[in-house]
Structure 1
Amino acid sequence: MVNTDDFIKRLEIILDYYGVNASAFADKIGVQRSSLSHLLSGRNKPSLDFILKILDVYPEIDLYWILNGKGSFPKTNSKPTELESTTHFSPTPAAPTPKTTADEDLFSESIPEDKKSAPITNREENQDIYFDDTIEKIVFFYKDGTFKSFNPNTKK
């Protein structure tokens, strides 16, 4: 049997991954918006027809992953390892990670040459900062392998 709360978390991961809201997702898979809303609120449980519609439109979603969290998302062509089958979310990287040079560490920011000589000032001093510091997204990762993301710039 499918754990509805965990299924909702995986469905939210899918919505976030594709960057769509619930209404657009419902339209794309061909279900009523209210059906998806009731499912996300926990009022209704997912039907087999609903799951099959998701898999039809998004073939990269693994059936076993969406049903019980085993496997990977997006789907890989290889058989999942034992470690992957126990994780809730293990995406494959979209692009290779760029290699760093010996002088550079993983946490250093790329600062344009014309900005390197000027000091970065504290916000409380009401002075300019050279970086675009607008928060785009906040992601909370939980020990159980799930996560939630918040977009502070979107209105609810």
Structure 2
Amino acid sequence: MVNIEDFIKRLEIILDYYSLNASSFADKIGVQRSSLSHLLSGRNKPSLDFILKILEVFPDVDLYWILNGKGTFPKNAIAIEKRENQAEEVFKQNIPTPLKEEKISENLFSEIQNPIHQNALKTEKMENKNIPTEAFSGEVEKIVFFYKNGTFKVFNPN
């Protein structure tokens, strides 16, 4: 049996992956917007017809993954990773050599040595002071990594 809450999370992953809102997704697969809204709210369960339309329009969606979370999304995740690695290598080859050496730490969580970035970091820290610490408590729903080449990956720790 399909767990509806998990199915909705996987459906939201598909929406994020293709950068679609619920309305455009419904239009793209040829279902009424209200039926998708009812499904996303948990009011209705997905029909076989609905699942088949998703698979038809989005071939990267694996049937077993969308139904029960087994498998991968996108189907060709390995091929995508290879393309990203190749693009990263090309990007690295085209980076101009800086005139003077700047010390940039490999540790993402260490202090930034570049003074231009330090001002931005101070501004960001000051902005976060206005947010109550209670806003950061609880479980992490998802983590999104944005890459400089315009792509992104969504990780769900659950």
| TM-score (normalizing by structure 2) | 0.59
Give matches, 1:111-150, under 5 Å.
116=114, 120-121=118-119, 122-123=122-123, 140-141=141-142, 146=156
Q: CA separation in 1, counterparts of 2:5 and 2:25?
A: 19
Q: Partner of 1:120: helix, strand, or coil? A: helix
Q: Does 1:34 align with 2:23?
A: no
How many residue pairs get aligned? The number is: 115
How far the C-alpha of 1:120 sits from its partner, in A, is: 2.7
Aligned to 1:72: 72
How far the C-alpha of 1:105 sits from its partner, in A, is: 1.8
Q: Does 1:6 align with 2:6?
A: yes
Q: Does 1:96 align with 2:85?
A: yes
TM-aligned CA distance change 1:2 to 1:140, over 3 Å: closer
Structure 1 gap segments, 5+ residues each:
79-90, 127-138, 149-156
Aligned to 2:108: 107
Aligned residue identity for 1:48: L
Q: CA separation in 2, counterparts of 1:60 and 1:23?
A: 20
Fraction of identical pairs, as percent: 60
Q: CA separation in 2, counterparts of 1:43 and 1:67?
A: 17
Aligned residue identity for 1:66: I
Q: CA separation in 1, counterparts of 2:106 and 2:76?
A: 31
How far the C-alpha of 1:119 sits from its partner, in A, is: 7.2
Aligned to 1:19: 19
Aligned to 1:130: none
Aligned to 2:98: none
TM-aligned CA distance change 1:105 to 1:34, over 3 Å: same
Aligned-residue CA RMSD (Å): 3.8
Q: CA separation in 2, counterparts of 1:96 and 1:48?
A: 37
Aligned residue identity for 2:67: L
Q: CA separation in 2, counterparts of 1:10 and 1:141?
A: 12
Q: Partner of 2:73: helix, strand, or coil? A: coil
Higher helix share: 2
Q: CA separation in 1, counterparts of 2:11 and 2:26?
A: 12
TM-aligned CA distance change 1:17 to 1:119, over 3 Å: closer
TM-aligned CA distance change 1:22 to 1:57, over 3 Å: same
TM-aligned CA distance change 1:118 to 1:52, over 3 Å: closer
| TM-score (normalizing by structure 1) | 0.59
